[in-house]
Amino acid sequence: MIRKLAILATLAFTPLLAFAQAAPPAASSASPVSDAVRGGLARYAKNMPAAAEAMPVDKFSFKPTADQITFGHLTLHIADSNFLFCSKISGVAAPDAPKLAETDSKEKLVANVKASFAFCDSVLGKIDDSHLTDSIAVFPNRSFTRAGTMFILMASWADHYSAQSMYLRLNGVLPPTAQPAAH
């Protein structure tokens, strides 16, 4: 019985051992938290504007239920969140963004999202992990560590892209990450 278990365990773990041996060693980083945020930024800066572009113009006023926000409001909120969090994390003032409303044109709302990710890219490219424990005021009367604010930003991207994907699917549109791979 023990011999059979040993054989089964060997068979089960052989592929894992082969993978572990074939995988290149992970490069160490002096700023793994900042690097992870930049990795998330690269993905979401591509997918979130693409999701906004994929929504038909006449569906920017769509909201799944009476209690939820419109897709236009979500798009505006994504840009506002990016400007706020990336400014706070980097210590660089956000640019003066145009005052937009959720009823503004799709082109203006999408351009604003793209501008917010361009700002994040420009300022987050310069951060490192040397000040992760610094306290920064993010909201009135509410401070977080820089690391905590980075985690909030990453969670914000995940939450907002998830919402965009749901809104798209409810309107018969596949989100960017669900599109078939181009050959």
User: pLDDT of 132-144, one tens digit each?
Assistant: 999 999 999 999 9
The 10s digit of each residue's pLDDT in 93-124 is 999 978 999 999 999 999 999 999 999 999 99
15: pLDDT confidence band, cut at 50, 70 and 90? very low
Predicted confidence at residue 25, as pLDDT, reads: 52
**CA-closest candidate to residue 126, choices 41, 47, 28:** 41
Whether 14 shows a pLDDT value over 50: the answer reads no
The 10s digit of each residue's pLDDT in 28-72 is 889 999 999 999 999 999 999 999 999 999 999 999 999 999 999
What residues does 139 pair with on adjacent strands? 142
pTM of the model: 0.83
User: What percent of the chain is predicted at pLDDT more than 70?
Assistant: 84
Domains of the chain: 36-176 (1.20.120.450)
φ, ψ for residue 6 (rounded to 5)? -65, -40
183: pLDDT confidence band, cut at 50, 70 and 90? low
